[in-house]
Homo-oligomer: A and B are copies of this chain.
Amino acid sequence: MMIQCRLKAGRAIGCLMLTVCCGEFTRGADWAPIHKTLISVEENIRVRDWRYQTTTPDGHTISVVKSVLHGGKQEGVDIVTVDNGRLTVVVIPTRGMSILGVTMGEVRLGWDSPVREVVHPSLINLHDRGGLGWLDGFNEWLVRCGLEFAGHPGTDTFRDNTGVPSEQDLTLHGKIGNIPASEVTFRIDRFPPYRMHIMGRVNERSFYGAALQLDTELSITPGSKTLSLDDKISNRGAAAQEYEIIYHANFGPPLLENGASMVAAVRRVQPMNNEAVKSLPNFSRFTGPTAGRKEHVFLIQPLSDPKGDTTVLLQNADKTLGCSMHYSLEALPFLTLWTNFASRRSGYVVGIEPGTNYPFNRRVERGAGRLQQLGAGESKHFKLSYTLHDDPAEIEKISSAIKDLGEGFKPEIVHHPPVME
C-alpha cells in the first residue's frame, strides 16, 4: 500500500512513500481502542514501520502511521503521521516531538524553509555559526525552544544550582528541538469522542547540568479541526532550576500572504529590533515576500479573557483561511511575533510564539525578571490548542470575539526596542 503525505503546496518535504508490511487494520464492528508503544528506552523498543487504521463507532476513519525518513541529512529520522479523518498531523520524535506540519484540505500549517530535509540531530552542531547551528534544521511548523534556555546565543553569567558563579555559551533556541524522544506512545480513547493521543517524553538531562523533562501529549478528536497540546515540564533534579519555553509556530502560504493579518487582543507591544520600528504602526498586518527584507520582531503582552486565556488568529488576506490558537496567559504570558517577509527562497514566514519569556539571551530575560524557575520535583503544564479554519463565517466569529476582548482597551505601544546593557 502506498501512502503519500504531502505537506507542502509546492513540493514534498519528507514526502512519504510507504509500503506497509506490518499494518494493523480494524473495522467498525471490531473496533477496539489501541495503545501502542512506538519508541521506548524503558522497553528497548523502536518500531520502524507500522500502520494502524480504524473506523470509530461514530463513523470516522482514522489512522496513524509510523515511518522512517531516508536520504541526505534525514536518514533514520522517525516520524509519526496522524490522520483524524480531517487533519493530517506529522510529528517528529527524533526532533524533540516537533510538529513538521498540519494539513486540512487547502489549509496548511507550515512553511517553506530553505532547509528542505528533516535533519537528524546527530548532524546538527548547535555551536556552529557562533551558536546559530539550530538554524541548520529549522523548518518545522511548530518547534519548542528550550528548556534550559530558549533565546539568543551568547554568554550567560549566572549562579548554578549549587550557588557557584558559572558561565555558559548558550546556543540559539536551546536543545530540546534536537533531542530524540525517549518514549513515544499512541492511543485512542475507548469511549466517545474516541480521542487520539500521541504522547512523547524528551529528556534534557546531563550530569552537573539540566535535569528537565518534557512530557507532551498531542491529541485530536476524530473529525475535529482542532489539535491540542498538553505539555508538562518537570524538574527531575535535586534543586530549583531555571527554564524557558517558547512555542515557535511558523506559517507560510497560504495563510501568510500580502494582506494576511494577525488578530490579537494586545495589552502592550514593542519592537524587539530596530528593523521592526519601521513596521510597528502596522505590525499585525503582513506584506508579501520582499527580497532583502530583514526580520522584524515584536514583543507582545496579550490581554486575557476572564478565564485567563487568550486567543490569537492568523487569517489570510480575504479571511477565508486561518488558524487560531488558544492558550493560558498564566503559563505563557509573553508573545513574540517574528515576521520574516524575505523572498520565498530565503524563507517567507511569520512566527507566532507564545512563551514563558521573550527570546533574548537568558541573561537578559533573567535581568528583566521574566525567567521562571521550577523547584526540585516540580512540574508545570502548558496547554495550547490550534484550530484550522476554512470557513469565513467561523473566522469572522473568532475575529470578532478577539476584538470584543480588546474593546475599549488602549494598548501600550512602545516605540523603541528595549535598551540592552
Q: Which residues of A contact B (CB under 8 A)?
A: 12, 14-18, 39-46, 67, 69-76, 113-117, 120-123, 125-130, 132, 135-136, 138-139, 162-164, 167-169, 179-183, 203, 205-209, 211, 236-239, 291-292, 294, 342-347, 376
A114 contacts B42, CB within 8 Å? no
Q: Which residue of B lies closest to A122 (CB)?
A: B122
14 contacts between A and B (CB under 8 A): A15-B42, A39-B72, A41-B70, A44-B71, A46-B75, A72-B182, A72-B183, A73-B180, A75-B180, A114-B206, A125-B125, A130-B169, A135-B208, A136-B209
Q: Please report the C-alpha to C-alpha distance between residue A207 and residue B138 in the assembled complex, in whole angstroms.
A: 7
Q: Please report the C-alpha to C-alpha distance between residue A207 and residue B116 in the assembled complex, in whole angstroms.
A: 10
| Chain B proximity of A287: nearest CB distance (Å) | 16
Q: Please report the C-alpha to C-alpha distance between residue A136 and residue B207 in the assembled complex, in whole angstroms.
A: 6
B238 contacts A39, CB within 8 Å? no
B39 contacts A71, CB within 8 Å? yes
Q: Which residue of B lies closest to A342 (CB)?
A: B238
Q: Which residue of B lies closest to A48 (CB)?
A: B70
| Chain B proximity of A15: nearest CB distance (Å) | 6
Q: Which residue of B lies closest to A16 (CB)?
A: B44
Q: Which among A70, A126, A206, A344 has the greatest number of chain B C-beta atoms within 10 A?
A: A206
| Chain B proximity of A241: nearest CB distance (Å) | 11
Q: Which residue of B lies closest to A184 (CB)?
A: B71
Q: Please report the C-alpha to C-alpha distance between residue A171 and residue B116 in the assembled complex, in whole angstroms.
A: 23
Q: Which of B40, B123, B294 is A162 in contact with, Cβ under 8 Å? A: B294
Cβ contacts under 8 Å, A208 to chain B: 132, 135
B130 contacts A168, CB within 8 Å? yes
Known: A46-B70, A122-B123, A168-B129. A345 touches B41 (CB 8 A): no
B17 contacts A205, CB within 8 Å? no
B17 contacts A71, CB within 8 Å? no
Q: Which of B73, B120, B211 is A179 in contact with, Cβ under 8 Å? A: B73
Q: Please report the C-alpha to C-alpha distance between residue A17 and residue B168 in the assembled complex, in whole angstroms.
A: 39
| Chain B proximity of A78: nearest CB distance (Å) | 9
Q: Please report the C-alpha to C-alpha distance between residue A181 and residue B100 in the assembled complex, in whole angstroms.
A: 22
| Chain B proximity of A9: nearest CB distance (Å) | 16
B73 contacts A44, CB within 8 Å? no
Q: Which residue of B lies closest to A37 (CB)?
A: B71
Cβ contacts under 8 Å, A41 to chain B: 14, 69-72, 74, 116-117
| Chain B proximity of A269: nearest CB distance (Å) | 24
Q: Which residue of B lies closest to A139 (CB)?
A: B207
Q: Which residue of B lies closest to A210 (CB)?
A: B114
B44 contacts A207, CB within 8 Å? no
A292 contacts B239, CB within 8 Å? yes
Cβ contacts under 8 Å, A75 to chain B: 46, 76, 180
B209 contacts A40, CB within 8 Å? no
| Chain B proximity of A400: nearest CB distance (Å) | 36
